[in-house]
Structure 1
C-alpha cells in the first residue's frame, strides 16, 4: 500500500509575484508555501515557530539583502539547520563556491524548472546535509535579552505617571492634528526591536496621509545617504561590468570574478573595495521633509509626537531608554556581526545616540550604529538614568531631525 504523502512547509522570501506563482504551482502537491516579502518578517516567524519550516527558498542576488546577508542572519539567530536555497538569475563556478562556503544548500537558476525544483527538494528530504541535525541541537542563536526587574518596574511607574499627567496635552494635540488635516490622530507602523521582534509602534501623526507611498521619491534627500542622488521613478536596468580591477585588465577578456546582483554585474574586487562607502544607507531620515504638516513639524521638534510610545512601554514592547526600534526595511539591512549587536539590547523611546548627537549637526549612519552598540555594551540602570536626564535638554534642540 502506498504511503500517504507528507505536506512539507517552505518559507519563500521573494518580492517577485511571477516567481511566487510559479513556485506555488510547481510545489503545491507536496509543499505548503508561505511567502515573505521581507527578511525581518521571516525572522519573527522563525522565532515564534522554530520547527515549522523544512526549507527556506530565497529569490535574490548573491549580495542582495535576501542573499548571503539573509543566510548569515538566519545562522546567527540559531536557524542554520534549515536548508537554505537561493534562486538567482545567473551563476558561475566562483559563485557556486561562495554559496558552498557560506552554507547555502543549493542554488536554482531562472527560469525555474518544475522537475529540477521538485527533484532537488526531494533529494534534500531523503539525504539531508551531513551534520545539520546535530547543528540544530547545538545552535543557540542570539542571547535573548531579559528585561531587568528594576528596569521594568521603573518603566511602568514612570510611563503610567506621565500618561496620567499629560492626558490634557494629549487631547489638545489630538484636536490640532484633526483640525489641520484628515486622517487618524495616532497611527502605528511595524517596527523591529529586541531580537528582531516585530511590534506595533505608536506615534502622533505628523505627516499628511499617504506619506509612506511617497518615500521612494525623496530618497535623494536622505541625511544618512553617502551619496546625493537625483530622484528617479525608473528602476535600474541590468548592466554588464563597466569597470575592471587591475588584475582583470591585465588578463584581458573581461571580468574574471563577476558578482551577480539583482540589478547589475560588478567586479568582485571593486565591489569589496567600495562596499563600505558605496552601500545603500540603512537609515532613512529626510531633512525638512515636505510630507510633514505644520502641527507635525512642531510636535516633532518638541518630540511630542513620541508620547504615544509610552503605551508601548506599558505593553512591554519597549523601554524608556534603549536603542531606537527600526522600520522593517532598515532592520533587514543591519545584519552584519559588527552592528546586529544593537538588537541584543532593549528598544527604547530615547537612547544614547539621541543625547549624544541630536542638535549637533548631521550624524553618519556609522556613528549612530556605533552608539547603539555602545549602549548595549555599557547598559545599566544608572546609565539609563543619566540618559533620561540628558534627554530633557535634547528635546529643545533647534535642528529639524
Structure 2
C-alpha cells in the first residue's frame, strides 16, 4: 500500500521541466523530481518500490520504440505508477501504442494551469480507486460479490447473456459499419467509477471520428451562439482546448465538452459549482459520424455495456457509472451514497420523463440515485426495465 505520492519528470527538455515544476508546485503543492536518465529513474523505482504512489510525467521522445520499451519497464514496477505522456500531435497509431504501453493520459508541454488542476483531481481519484481495488484484492473478494447481491447478479448474467446472443447480428453489423465509415477502433474504452468507487473499463461503440479532439478548434466557427463581443474569449479558449484540455477526455466524451468565457467544463458537471452560460453549442455536431448519429438516436452505442454486465463491472439496472473527473466531485456526504448501488446501463432517473429530455437537474438525479441505492430490488429493477423498454419503443416510433 503506497504511503504517499511521489512526482517525477522524465525527459531532457529543461525548459519544459521548469514550466512543469512551477505548475506542479503551485497547483499540486508538491515537488517534482527530475530524471534525464532512464537507468537512474529505473534504479530509483527499484529502491523505492511499494513505498510511493508515483506519478510520472514522461516526455515523448523522437523514438516511439524506445519510449514503448521504457514505459513497459516502468509498468512492471506495479500498478501504483500513474504515467502521463507529455507531447502533442500524436497519430492514432502512436496514441494506441502509448496507451497500450501504460500511458493513461496526455498533456501538452505548455498546458494551461486549468489542465494541471484537472490533472490534480484525476490523480486524486485514481489513487482512491487504486486503494479501493487493493482493499478488495487483499480481502480476496471480487467486486461483484461485494457490490451486487446474488439474486441480482444471477439476473444480470441471464439477461446479458440472452441479449448478447439475440443481438449478436446487430452487434456485428454495427461493428462493420463503424469500421467501414471511418478508421479506428469500433469500440472504445474509458475509465469509469461504479459501485464503491470501483474503477473499470467502460465499453461503448465509437460514434465520433477518431480525430474529434483536433476538430474542436475548427468547429468553434459553427457555434450557434457566436457573438462578436465574445470572439476574443472564444479565440483564447479555442487555442487552449486544442492543445490541452481536449487531451483529458476520451474521443466520445468530447461530445459533452462545453466552452464558456472562463473555463472548459462538461455538460453533466456536478458538485454545486456555478458556471456562466456555456457558449459552445453545435446544432448538429460534425464530429459525430453518420453511423454514430443513428447509434446515439436509438442508444445502440450503449450495447457493448452488456459485456460489462456479463463481467460483473455493472448491472443491467443501477446508477450510471461516472467518468473520473465527475465522480471526484461527488465525494461529499450528501452524494456519496449513490455509489453504494451497483452501476447500471439504465436506472431510475433515466426513466423519469424529465430525465429523458434533459431538464432534470444534477441534484435531482443524485437524489434519485440515492433513492435507488436505498431501495433497489429485483421487482424495482423489473419496473425500471419495463419503463426503459416502453420509452425505447416510443422513441423508435417517432
Normalising by the residue count of structure 2, what TM-score does the alignment of the two structures yield?
Answer: 0.55
Q: Which of 293, 296, 315 does residue 292 from structure 2 map onto?
A: 296
1:44-83 matches, within 5 Å, as 44-49=129-134
For residue 215 of structure 1, report the CA deviation from its aligned partner: 7.0
In structure 2, relative to structure 1, the CA distance for the partners of 1:147 and 1:201 (3 Å cut) is same
Look up the match of 1:365.
Answer: 362
Look up the match of 1:335.
Answer: 331
Q: Which of 348, 372, 376 does residue 375 from structure 1 map onto?
A: 372
- Describe the SS at the equivalent of 2:159: helix
For residue 366 of structure 1, report the CA deviation from its aligned partner: 1.9
Look up the match of 2:207.
Answer: 206
Look up the match of 1:147.
Answer: 148
What are structure 2's unaligned runs of at least 5 residues?
Answer: 10-18, 36-43, 56-81, 83-118, 136-144, 224-229, 242-261, 264-270
Look up the match of 1:354.
Answer: 350
Look up the match of 1:24.
Answer: 33
In structure 2, relative to structure 1, the CA distance for the partners of 1:32 and 1:383 (3 Å cut) is closer
Look up the match of 1:72.
Answer: none
- Structure 2 Cα separation of the partners of residues 213 and 348 of structure 1: 31
Look up the match of 1:34.
Answer: 54
1 or 2, which has the higher helix percentage? 2
2:125/2:328 contact within 8 Å kept = yes
For residue 358 of structure 1, report the CA deviation from its aligned partner: 4.3
For residue 393 of structure 1, report the CA deviation from its aligned partner: 2.2
In structure 2, relative to structure 1, the CA distance for the partners of 1:166 and 1:361 (3 Å cut) is same
For residue 148 of structure 1, report the CA deviation from its aligned partner: 1.1
In structure 2, relative to structure 1, the CA distance for the partners of 1:10 and 1:214 (3 Å cut) is farther
In structure 2, relative to structure 1, the CA distance for the partners of 1:360 and 1:45 (3 Å cut) is closer
- Tell me which structure has the larger Cα radius of gyration: 1
Look up the match of 2:341.
Answer: 345
For residue 213 of structure 1, report the CA deviation from its aligned partner: 6.2
1:325/1:348 contact within 8 Å kept = yes
1:145/1:194 contact within 8 Å kept = no
Q: More deviation in 354-363 or 170-179?
A: 354-363
For residue 23 of structure 1, report the CA deviation from its aligned partner: 3.5
Q: Does 1:159 align with 2:160?
A: yes
1:145/1:344 contact within 8 Å kept = no
In structure 2, relative to structure 1, the CA distance for the partners of 1:333 and 1:215 (3 Å cut) is farther
For residue 34 of structure 1, report the CA deviation from its aligned partner: 0.9
2:7/2:31 contact within 8 Å kept = no
1:212-361 matches, within 5 Å, as 231=234, 232-233=237-238, 276=272, 278=274, 288-356=284-352, 357-361=354-358
For residue 48 of structure 1, report the CA deviation from its aligned partner: 3.3
Look up the match of 1:136.
Answer: none
Q: More deviation in 371-380 or 341-350?
A: 371-380
In structure 2, relative to structure 1, the CA distance for the partners of 1:382 and 1:287 (3 Å cut) is farther
For residue 339 of structure 1, report the CA deviation from its aligned partner: 1.1
In structure 2, relative to structure 1, the CA distance for the partners of 1:189 and 1:277 (3 Å cut) is closer
2:194/2:322 contact within 8 Å kept = yes
1:193/1:343 contact within 8 Å kept = yes
- Structure 2 Cα separation of the partners of residues 44 and 385 of structure 1: 31
For residue 327 of structure 1, report the CA deviation from its aligned partner: 1.0
- Describe the SS at the equivalent of 1:173: helix
- Structure 2 Cα separation of the partners of residues 172 and 373 of structure 1: 38
Q: Does 1:179 align with 2:180?
A: yes
Q: More deviation in 178-187 or 286-295?
A: 286-295
For residue 181 of structure 1, report the CA deviation from its aligned partner: 1.4
Normalising by the residue count of structure 1, what TM-score does the alignment of the two structures yield?
Answer: 0.54
1:145/1:346 contact within 8 Å kept = no
- Describe the SS at the equivalent of 1:343: helix
- Describe the SS at the equivalent of 1:166: helix
1:191/1:200 contact within 8 Å kept = yes
